[in-house]
Chains A and B, each alone.
Chain A
């Protein structure tokens, strides 16, 4: 083998080893790019599915908000219904209470104008007219309109009788 041949034989070997290392570099680069591509796809897929998931959750929450708003409205309406006079009347009647407006209640009037003399408030101490007039039977049968008179405080019986005087 001459020098020329030796050089010829050496060159391909160096080139081959160079080629081999470059090939590996290419393979590695391809692998990196492939990995990048795959991870990109993977991330994109994950993003897509998570966005769908968020969309679904969002939709569910919107539905929930609508339902809660509807419920709030229903409750407001129920409160208004229960506050309405007709409903209060109905419930009161159910509870056994009677409507004062429907009762034949007569209001006796205690007017100082009939006797012409009004008793000073100090002269009629702590005796409740309410109890006395309410407790006396003639007030029941008195014709309407009735008038009551302030009388002397020392004669409560007479005072009571005069409550039935017709005007």
Chain B
């Protein structure tokens, strides 16, 4: 019995062992199979699987940082970028083009067939980006998101519509519109600077592209974000003052309109530092609507336009003679009969001045005296002074496309070139070069490099100040002082009397030059460039103002009549704004005055008939009829949203308008 049981036990153990081994074998095979598969996947299909995993989980976003801001010297933003979005379609994701186009057309109020055509075109060309609506601001984006929330698919990114996506973009805005437009410049659609500071400082203003690596969960929600190192763009602070710029632009516009000139340029400069406080061109343009602008108005003529300066260039002639100690301002010079012949070319004075002091010769802008002085200086020395004053080379201002002007070397001069150049012909200068030359004289012969950028700065870093520029002594201080005395005479008794200021002394020079006709290659005596460049206060100038009018047509067209009044208007306002102490008696002349009946802006036809013009009698204060005044009261009462009422001070619908103009006006010497 014992023998029979023993093998049975053995069998059971064997069976258990076999079964166990079987299970182990199955497990080994299973795990082995999995291992083989894993090795196969991770070794042979590694790259493909990794790509799939990254695509599912990670999202790479490229966004451009906002372009730097351009400020004026008082931190007023002249150009600024805003974050906007562009709606685009990915045609490869869109199956029902018609429905998508119809929905988009309904939300965006566009033409459905046009959108469908755009998407289909993209689909055929296998494009993955078809822009539907560009550069939309946040409120519009939110409205569109609401309108497009039709899809069943729950997306983490809006719009919740298959095949439609937002792309982050930026939009450049110029809040002061046309103010200093030629200085600030503008951008193209790709946000690259195309003119002005936008172009010259594009490298530091340009927003770098940043790469964002976003980790997303299965619902598309971002749970981790890695950003590549940001290199923030810099902001640019200009030396321009928007308040001065506005005054200058207004005065220039008025001057151009009143003289019916083709265009005008005005520059205000601090002679001590070389800072440009205002630089205006008229006509101008609005960089916000660049496509509507006239191409001719976009260029900055103050640095890109070359003209013959005419008599204002006589400061170089007299300056070079004074620097050589050839005369003193009170020495006498004889202009003879007002004509002089040099190399068979007869030069004339507009009116003979006879034997006068050099100061008077300058004051009356005698060509003959200037030519005689220029000839006494000699070619080499005159040319040397022209170059020292900065003509024939760029001023180095931080604006693009600056021209160096036209100054021929002495070897290429004709027999009469020195005489012509002595009175500002046969030479091409820019308005800024001329202003810079006057600033040199104003600054006692020290030339401060003109510049328009005060500083550049990056968030969290020290500003990179560029105000301290190299200053070079160009002419002796005594020469500069003598020249200032002569220029003072121009304003006191000479051709620039209309530039006299109230409360401040001024010095300057008028210039009236015939324009050069490029087609006929001769001087066109019917077209002028009239200019006045001056400084104030005369003894210790705080500002230099250059006003250049191109082709004035109305009235007297000389610089003293056309440009000097503009200088006066600009200098008077800016000196007061700068709180410069007056150095001359203040004439409290116009305490005011005038009652001006004016055609109403919105007068009723009946009122027009009955009260075409109010009768004004001597000694009687003109008043509107009593009944009328009642009407005015009625019409000027306005309700405010909070329920209260206000009465407008200036009646809008009446026939008579009273303007009490309180202010100090300067007496005009005629």
Specify which of A71, A96, A111, A137 is in contact with B589 (CB 8 Å cutoff): A111
Nearest CB on A from B633, distance (A): 14
Beta-carbon contacts of B115-158 to A below 8 Å, as 1s and 0s?
A: 00000000000000000000001100000000000000000000
Given A59-B222, A86-B178, A96-B650, A139-B593 contact (CB < 8 Å)? yes
**Which of A4-12, A25-33, A37-45, A50-58 lies on the face that meets chain B?**
A50-58
> Do the beta carbons of A111 and B667 come within 8 Å of each other?
yes
Question: Do residues B619 and A157 form an inter-chain contact, with CB atoms below 8 A?
Answer: yes
Known contacts A70-B82, A73-B80, A133 near B593 by CB under 8 Å: yes
Contact flags (1/0) for B610-646 with A, using CB distance below 8 Å?
A: 0000001111111000000000000010000000000
Whether the Cβ atoms of B621 and A105 lie closer than 8 Å is no
With a cutoff of 8 Å between Cβ atoms, the chain B residues found around residue A157 in the complex are 619
Give Cα distance in the complex from A31 to B621, angstroms. 111
A136 at the interface (CB under 8 A from B): yes
Residue of A nearest to B78 (CB): A80
A15-33 interface bits toward B, Cβ cutoff 8 Å, 1 = contact, 0 = none = 0000000000000000000
Number of A interface residues in the complex (CB < 8 A): 54
Q: Is A13 an interface residue (CB 8 A)?
A: no
Tell me the number of A-to-B contacts counted with CB atoms below 8 Å.
156
Q: Is B659 an interface residue (CB 8 A)?
A: yes
Which one of A53, A76, A134 has the greatest number of beta carbons of chain B within 10 Å?
A: A134
> With an 8 A cutoff between CB atoms, is A2 at the interface?
no
> Is B372 at the interface (CB under 8 A from chain A)?
no
Which of chain B's residues have a CB closer than 8 A to the CB of A140? 594-597, 616, 622
**CB-defined contacts of B597 to chain A, threshold 8 Å:** 140
In Å, the complex CA distance between A140 and B616 comes to: 8
Is A126 in contact with chain B by the CB < 8 A criterion? no
Interfacial chain B residues near A165, Cβ < 8 Å = none
Q: Is the CB of B177 within 8 A of A77?
A: no
Shortest distance in angstroms between B155's beta carbon and chain A's nearest beta carbon? Answer: 15
Q: Please indicate the chain B residues that have their CB under 8 angstroms from the CB of A77 in the complex.
A: 77, 80, 82, 173, 175
A84 near B224: Cβ-Cβ < 8 Å: no
B76 touches A137 (CB 8 A): no
Nearest Cβ in chain B — how far from A166, in angstroms? 11
CB proximity of A156 to chain B, nearest CB, Å: 11
Are A96 and B620 in contact, CB atoms less than 8 angstroms apart? no
Determine whether the beta carbon of A74 is less than 8 Å from that of B82: yes
Residues of chain A within 8 A (CB-CB) of B589 are 109-111, 148
Q: Are B591 and A59 in contact (CB under 8 A)?
A: no
* Selected contact of B590 from candidates A52, A67, A70, A110, CB within 8 Å: A110
Q: Are B665 and A107 in contact (CB under 8 A)?
A: yes
In the complex the two chains form, what is the Cα distance from A56 to B215 in whole Å?
10
0/1 string, B203-225, CB within 8 A of A gives 1? 00000000000110100011111
* Best-buried of B82, B225, B590, B652 by chain A (most CB within 10 Å): B590
Counting CB contacts under 8 A, is B522 at the interface?
A: no
A81 to B242, CA, bound (A): 13
- Near B by CB (< 8 A), chain A positions 94-120 give 95-98, 100-101, 103-111
Q: List 5 A-B contacts (CB under 8 A).
A: A73-B81, A80-B175, A96-B652, A139-B595, A147-B667
Chain A contacts to B: CB under 8 angstroms:
52-53, 55-56, 58-59, 62, 66-67, 70-71, 73-74, 76-77, 80-81, 83-86, 95-98, 100-101, 103-111, 129-130, 133-141, 145, 147-148, 157, 160, 163, 167
